[in-house]
Structure 1
């Protein structure tokens, strides 16, 4: 089955949508080799899907396969995604279709766009992109922010990637009119750590309130960002991750890495410098976000 935008829907996703049951979209970059090394990427896929199922919703992994956008994948299609090495942002969706890309793994921006077109209102990821450090010179601002601002979807994440300019990311979201919420937390998370030291604009403690924020949005196209801190037991101490991030960013600059290549490069460096500690942290926050997203989706459909 296909949706109105031509995306291929798996049988379980199509059935859930037609019956008005909750669905949670998932990006596929995090499950590819660009997000996590094997076999951790496959583990992440399974734990995120299971967390969504355990809370009464249907997972819908997004990807481009054989030039067609997909929401919901078969086991064979998942295997192709796990080996994916080509990112698809929102701007690339039409190109991927026109050129018939074999496998394209979707970023936050592409997944939010595909979810909206399919009528899926909740999306879970690890961390969003944002304003890069030095953006006043490079102009490097992730398309994730524009997509969240222009599609009425609730994005559930552990804040933005910790190596970004987090104060400017929050300023950008404010300018774009995106409500930024903290799930039972008063501080904007920094991915591996529970707090960036930046206060969250609005704390929420109840799923229904999150749903109502989306319903009562001032702009019909604006989405909502729900930030969820990494579980306490899985947090990497700030003192350690700060030094690692500084070294990783310096290495990326020295290597001349720019644009979309920065994220996988820096994440790989972080994994190396933390002796792999970043991988279980990634898995924990992704699973946690997926479960909370499912709870939000259930409340939205009640």
Structure 2
């Protein structure tokens, strides 16, 4: 990874919360390896980002990946937590915000993830740090939109206010993570890795401050979670959230686990398809940009 960066080669940043908090064991390690293999197969170098013993790592070897996937008590770290984690010497998995910030600092231009954080439903004051970090971080983020457990419309409004560019990949409809279409449009569509790469290069050449470029890559309709099952599970999960008094950073892991349990594992299968598709696309974009 360091050699690729030194040569301005294709590198793709990968988050680690999906490994430590997003997927159950032992699937998490298996999928983490598959994500990295997908990036390599498309010609780029994977850089999974995490904090181990307080030290930020940009790229993990297999022993470190295994440790992260199998260790209890790994802290969920946003960008604001990185220095505190260093002071305490803890192990931490990086969110979209932390991964974006570290990747950009390391000179990585492309980041693949599943879904972004955003504005929470029924709680507009509760907003993921992903949004403000993306507003000030020059990186292209390949995702499947924002997690459908969030308020998608309000999140898109915030991204516009914060000056974050949003484009669909081959579509003018914004995907809804588990769903191919969230019900909201986007203004721009980019049609190929080469076209995305041209946008990345132009942003640097223009000399204008840009935040992130969010590239929303929808699942094909045949691969999405059944919409009726999705809506029913979400409604039940929101009710359980309120009844249990779950708030703050615990909300997203709670709802993702709820979906996994109450869809019979179907949401997990969709989640894995999402991240593998995004890793492949991000790698092809990184190759084109390099």
The worse-fitting range, judged by mean Cα deviation, of 231-240 and 145-154 is 231-240
For structure 2, the residue ranges without an aligned partner over 5 or more in a row are: none
Q: How does 1:289-300 map to 2 (within 5 A)?
A: 289-300=278-289
- Say how many residue pairs are matched: 285
Counterpart of 1:171? 157
- 2:45 is the alignment partner of 1:62: no
Counterpart of 1:284? 273
CA displacement 1:85-109 (0-9 Å, x = unmatched)? 31000000111111111x1000000
- Where does structure 1 differ by over 2 angstroms across 4 or more consecutive aligned residues? 211-219, 231-234
The answer to whether the 8 Å contact 1:44/1:286 transfers is no
Displacement after TM superposition at 1:221 (Å)? 4.0
- 2:83 is the alignment partner of 1:97: no
Distance in 2 (alpha carbons) for counterparts of 1:56 and 1:289: 14
Distance in 2 (alpha carbons) for counterparts of 1:221 and 1:97: 29
Distance in 2 (alpha carbons) for counterparts of 1:295 and 1:75: 23
Distance in 2 (alpha carbons) for counterparts of 1:54 and 1:16: 15
CA displacement 1:21-45 (0-9 Å, x = unmatched)? 100000000011x101012211221
Displacement after TM superposition at 1:212 (Å)? 2.9
CA displacement 1:133-161 (0-9 Å, x = unmatched)? 1233xx11001111111110000000000
- 2:72 is the alignment partner of 1:72: no
State which of 102, 114, 118 in structure 2 corresponds to 1:114: 102
Displacement after TM superposition at 1:232 (Å)? 3.5
Q: Report which of the two has the higher share of strand.
A: 2
Instruction: For residue 182 of structure 2, give the secondary structure of its aligned residue in structure 1.
Output: coil
Distance in 2 (alpha carbons) for counterparts of 1:153 and 1:247: 36
CA displacement 1:226-281 (0-9 Å, x = unmatched)? 00012333211211101101111111111111111111100000011101111111
Q: How does 1:11-22 map to 2 (within 5 A)?
A: 13-22=1-10
Displacement after TM superposition at 1:286 (Å)? 0.5
The answer to whether the 8 Å contact 2:201/2:289 transfers is no
Q: What TM-score do you get using the length of structure 2 for normalisation?
A: 0.95
For structure 1, the residue ranges without an aligned partner over 5 or more in a row are: 1-12
Displacement after TM superposition at 1:211 (Å)? 2.4
Distance in 2 (alpha carbons) for counterparts of 1:226 and 1:173: 13
Distance in 2 (alpha carbons) for counterparts of 1:240 and 1:70: 39
Instruction: For residue 196 of structure 1, give the secondary structure of its aligned residue in structure 2.
Output: strand
State which of 182, 197, 201 in structure 2 corresponds to 1:211: 197
The worse-fitting range, judged by mean Cα deviation, of 153-162 and 247-256 is 247-256
* CA-based RMSD: 1.3
Counterpart of 2:214? 225
The answer to whether the 8 Å contact 1:214/1:223 transfers is no
Displacement after TM superposition at 1:208 (Å)? 2.5
Counterpart of 1:44? 31
